[in-house]
């Protein structure tokens, strides 16, 4: 039996980052992976979807070249080549993780891992033991009883990024990050897209004004949006698929080539030995303390299988914190109230902290500032005037309660708000920090200025 200090079950952005940090701290480390290094994020999620979205964005630039004083004749695309590029990017990233495993002297054990009592893991009949076992098995596309996936006409995100043929019509069920990103991608390439959302607005976790702006932008692009609506059944017996949608006005049948189910994720906690070991689970999540220890000593869990936000950067942060605690370092628990969320459609969405409604619900007396990109010199020059930056401050102490952005490149701008909130900065400090001109990031300063009635360019 091979013995390690730490074994990590799963090699996604939680698992492989955890393994690398463990090795850096001097632990003899192994990672177990049943498929491809990098997990869903690198192979079928975060990275390849961004490659698809970039192709769509470039194609849109070509279609609107005249807006920039340029002439491009007969701009076209090759759907197979777009998908192939995306797969190539994913394969390259997975190869990069393989290199990092070798560089950090981490053993990669290929196969399906099952937890055993006594701090052991069985991998296809061979046992491995460790002082600490960290579960990082991630999640998959969630299936609804009314929307069973067959992988052909009713699909999840994995099939959506590797279709052999571009659909002429697509129904996207769910308008979270996955749903709106694919809606944008396929619409940009000419697919007729309808989004069906159960709640009363799209991207419902975002600030309400962000939802309204995205809906305006999407409708302008030709995407049909149905809110307060529910797919109650699908019929795949014909050439395409018919989705029966329950709306406030009654039932409506949508005909399409493909229905994409983007209604959330399901934790990968089945058949990995949790019951045999006695690890506590509640509502599809492994229960852990602030340092990711389960109820059974020596067993830990991070990432999508735990109650925190199901985001790659959260899983990575949790894994690092977990092994640093094991190493005896003085670490502080992760602040889940300061986790940024990003959606990479066009326009992009990025946010952190409380929405305006949440701040009011929690009883804060607030100052709200908003600066539209239509008033930004850089945005005008770039031809990207859709969207805005919105900031929320506590009126009494100046605490930065929330920041919400929608527009071009905002996923690269949100880190300013995350860092500012981490350092407990005030509105006046942000306002007096000189921002470069002309940049999109000036909109953050201008939004803060608007909150304090000092805005110059609006």
- Within 10 angstroms of residue 146's Cβ, the number of other Cβ atoms is 16
Residue 456 in any domain: the answer is no
Residues whose CB is less than 8 angstroms from the CB of residue 384 and which lie 6 or more positions away in sequence, other chains included: 347, 373, 407, 408, 409
Please compute the mean of the pLDDT values over residues 423-447 and round it to a whole number: 95
Residue 155: strand pairing partners: 260
Rounded Cα distance, 264 and 248, in Å: 23
Residue 45 in any domain: the answer is yes
Average confidence score pLDDT of the chain: 95
Residue 246: strand pairing partners: 230, 251
Range of 377's domain? 347-451
Residue 429 in any domain: the answer is yes
CA separation (Å) from 90 to 174, 434, 436?
A: 25, 38, 34
Residue 341 in any domain: the answer is no
Residue 149 in any domain: the answer is no
What is the domain count for the chain? 3
What is the model's pLDDT at position 174?
A: 97
Place of tokens 């959606």: 343
pLDDT band at residue 112 under the 50/70/90 scheme: very high
Helix 208-220 to helix 177-188 angle, to the nearest 10 degrees?
20
- The SS3 assignment for 377 reads helix
- Of these ranges, 47-51, 192-196, 262-266, the one predicted with the greatest mean pLDDT is 192-196
- Within 10 angstroms of residue 66's Cβ, the number of other Cβ atoms is 9
Q: What is the pTM of this model?
A: 0.94
Known binding-site positions for FAD = 50, 113, 304
> Within this chain, do residues 278 and 129 fall inside the same structural domain, yes or no?
yes
The answer to whether 51 and 138 are in contact (CB under 8 A) is: no
> Within this chain, do residues 126 and 181 fall inside the same structural domain, yes or no?
no
Residue 265: strand pairing partners: 141
The domain boundary residue, chosen from 314, 336, 358: 336
What is the model's pLDDT at position 133?
A: 98
268 burial class (0-12, 13-18, 19+ CB within 10 angstroms)? Answer: buried
What is the model's pLDDT at position 1?
A: 67
Residue 329 in any domain: the answer is yes
Please compute the mean of the pLDDT values over residues 139-160 and round it to a whole number: 92
CA separation (Å) from 63 to 22, 76, 191?
A: 48, 9, 15
- The SS3 assignment for 200 reads coil
Residue 104 in any domain: the answer is yes
> Within this chain, do residues 134 and 12 fall inside the same structural domain, yes or no?
yes
The domain boundary residue, chosen from 289, 314, 336: 336
Q: Which two tokens stand for residue 205?
A: 């976790």
What is the model's pLDDT at position 282?
A: 96
What is the model's pLDDT at position 379?
A: 95
Given a cut of 90, whether residue 457 has pLDDT beyond it is: no
The domain boundary residue, chosen from 336, 363, 388: 336
> Within this chain, do residues 255 and 270 fall inside the same structural domain, yes or no?
no
Known binding-site positions = 50, 113, 174-181, 197, 264, 304
The answer to whether 409 and 348 are in contact (CB under 8 A) is: yes
**Minimal CA–CA distance to 219: which of 195, 198, 186, 243?**
195
> Within this chain, do residues 322 and 377 fall inside the same structural domain, yes or no?
no
What is the model's pLDDT at position 44?
A: 85
Q: Which run of H or of E encompasses 132? A: strand 126-135
> Within this chain, do residues 173 and 135 fall inside the same structural domain, yes or no?
no
Please compute the mean of the pLDDT values over residues 106-126 and round it to a whole number: 96
Read off the CATH number of the domain in which 231 is found.
3.50.50.60
List the beta strands (DSSP E) in 287-415. Answer: 299-301, 341-343, 348-353, 366-372, 388-394, 400-407
> Within this chain, do residues 312 and 362 fall inside the same structural domain, yes or no?
no
pLDDT tens digit sequence for 357-414:
999 999 999 999 999 999 999 999 999 999 999 999 999 999 999 999 999 999 999 9
What is the model's pLDDT at position 39?
A: 86
What is the model's pLDDT at position 43?
A: 87
Rg (CA), the chain: 23
> Within this chain, do residues 247 and 288 fall inside the same structural domain, yes or no?
no
> Within this chain, do residues 60 and 129 fall inside the same structural domain, yes or no?
yes
- In the chain, the percentage of residues whose pLDDT exceeds 70 is 100
> Within this chain, do residues 58 and 200 fall inside the same structural domain, yes or no?
no
> Within this chain, do residues 105 and 15 fall inside the same structural domain, yes or no?
yes
> Within this chain, do residues 259 and 278 fall inside the same structural domain, yes or no?
no
- Do strands 388-394 and 366-372 pair parallel, antiparallel, or not at all (unpaired)? antiparallel
What is the model's pLDDT at position 392?
A: 98
Active site residues: 437
What is the model's pLDDT at position 40?
A: 85
Going 417 to 422 to 427 to 433, the CA torsion angle's sign is negative
Residues whose CB is less than 8 angstroms from the CB of residue 396 and which lie 6 or more positions away in sequence, other chains included: 365
349 phi and psi angles, rounded to 5 deg:
-130, 140
Residue 331 in any domain: the answer is yes
Read off the CATH number of the domain in which 419 is found.
3.30.390.30
pLDDT tens digit sequence for 55-101:
999 999 999 999 999 999 989 999 999 999 999 999 999 999 999 99
């Amino acid at each position: 039996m091979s013995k390690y200090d730490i074994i990590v079950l799963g090699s996604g952005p939680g698992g492989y980052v955890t393994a690398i940090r463990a090795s850096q701290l001097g632990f003899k480390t192994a990672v177990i992976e049943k498929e491809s290094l990098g997990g869903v994020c690198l192979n079928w999620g975060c990275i390849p979807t961004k490659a698809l979205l970039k192709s769509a964005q470039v194609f849109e630039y070509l279609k609107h070249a005249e807006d920039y004083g340029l002439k491009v004749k007969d701009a076209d695309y090759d759907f197979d080549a777009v998908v192939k590029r995306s797969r190539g990017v994913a394969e390259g990233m997975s190869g990069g993780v393989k290199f990092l495993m070798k560089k950090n002297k981490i053993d990669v054990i290929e196969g399906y891992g099952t937890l055993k009592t006594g701090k052991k893991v069985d991998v296809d009949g061979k046992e491995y033991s460790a002082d600490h076992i960290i579960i990082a098995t991630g999640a998959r596309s969630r299936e609804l009883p009314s929307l069973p996936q067959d992988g052909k006409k009713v699909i999840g995100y994995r099939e959506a990024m590797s279709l052999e043929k571009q659909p002429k019509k697509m129904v996207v069920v769910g308008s979270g990050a996955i749903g709106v990103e694919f809606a944008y991608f396929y619409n940009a390439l000419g697919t007729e897209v309808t989004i069906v959302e159960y709640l009363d607005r799209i991207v419902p976790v975002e600030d309400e004004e962000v939802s309204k702006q995205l809906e305006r932008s999407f409708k302008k692009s030709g995407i049909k949006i149905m809110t307060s609506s529910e797919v109650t059944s699908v019929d795949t017996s014909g050439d395409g698929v018919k989705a029966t949608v329950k709306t406030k006005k009654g039932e409506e049948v949508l005909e399409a080539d493909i229905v994409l189910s983007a209604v959330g994720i399901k934790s990968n906690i089945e058949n990995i030995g949790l019951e045999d070991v006695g690890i506590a689970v509640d509502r599809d999540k492994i229960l852990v303390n602030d340092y990711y220890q389960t109820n059974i000593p020596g067993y830990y869990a991070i990432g999508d299988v735990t109650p925190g936000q199901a985001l790659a950067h959260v899983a990575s942060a949790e894994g690092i914190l977990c092994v640093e605690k094991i190493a005896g370092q003085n670490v502080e628990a992760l602040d889940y109230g300061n986790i940024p969320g990003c959606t990479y459609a066009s326009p992009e969405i990025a946010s952190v902290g409380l929405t305006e409604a949440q701040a009011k619900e929690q009883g804060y007396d607030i100052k709200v500032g908003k600066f539209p990109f239509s008033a930004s010199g850089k945005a005008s020059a770039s031809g990207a005037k859709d969207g805005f930056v919105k900031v929320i401050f506590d009126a009494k102490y100046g605490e930065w309660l929330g920041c919400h952005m929608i527009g071009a490149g905002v996923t690269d701008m949100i880190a300013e708000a995350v860092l500012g909130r981490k350092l407990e900065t005030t509105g006046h400090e942000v306002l007096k920090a000189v921002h470069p001109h002309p940049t999109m990031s000036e909109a953050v300063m201008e939004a803060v200025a608007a909150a304090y009635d000092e805005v110059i360019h609006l």
